[in-house]
Structure 1
């Protein structure tokens, strides 16, 4: 149930942002806005919010959201919209507005939706920690010379 609630929240906010910019300012029909918002919400919710967000964290999900949203708006905007508008710059503007909203949505999804599935063990930006060891000696032959010198002294 939480998945559906999160998806419809994403769909309605996406539709609102797309409608304000495309519909009100540039006269795109409401049916075109609904179609674009539906496909954009399905793609970004399934790929980013359900797969990338729990595995790679919020920052990777934001970059993925930005790329997928921009490409989806350009592609689906070209398919659905019959009017002549500047699609690239409008898509970039709408994507930026969506990205601001997505930062809050990712917190909501992490707290309410993904917590059930992963039981609170969400990996946030995995890092590889390499441990290095430093020694005083740079050459192995120096070590054997030092040991022989120490043995001679004793």
Structure 2
């Protein structure tokens, strides 16, 4: 539920950029633009926002989203568009426009959901739980000691 605003922002961003570039420059139908926007929003949210943003930060996730947008627009354009258009150029222009907007979306996501370093660290620290419900932390000192003795 808490990600609805982010999904909506990403969808509006993708639809707006694709409508300007594909619809305005190439005359692509709005139905095709909506299909590409839905697919791009879902994939970039899962890959870019949930997986890469906490690990790579805003710039890294934005670069990955740009490459993803380029690939999705180009590949889906090859499947959906009936008229001959320059897919390479419109895909690149769309990817740059979407990446610029993603900088703001990622800033919003980090501000709302990844507020401090402990939250980011908490995403990667996995507590172990016994069958009796006690939480225990894995002991990494013995592994480090064995490595140092070698």
- Could you tell me the TM-score, scaled by structure 2's length? 0.75
Q: CA RMSD in A?
A: 1.7
Q: Would you say the 8 A contact 1:2–1:112 is kept in 2?
A: no
- Could you tell me the TM-score, scaled by structure 1's length? 0.73
Aligned pair count?
121
1:67 aligns with 2:67: yes
Deviations 1:61-84 (A, max 9, x none): 122111111111111111111121
Large movers: runs of 4+ above 4 Å: none
Partner of 1:122: 120
Partners in 1 of 2:80 and 2:69 — Cα distance?
15
Partners in 1 of 2:42 and 2:22 — Cα distance?
19
Partners in 2 of 1:79 and 1:53 — Cα distance?
30
Partner of 1:36: 36
Higher relative contact order (CA 8 A, sep 6+): 1
Larger radius of gyration: 1
Q: Where does the alignment leave 5 or more consecutive residues of structure 1 unmatched? A: 124-154
- Aligned residue runs from structure 1 range 65-144, under 5 A: 65-115=65-115, 121-122=119-120
Partners in 2 of 1:11 and 1:105 — Cα distance?
11
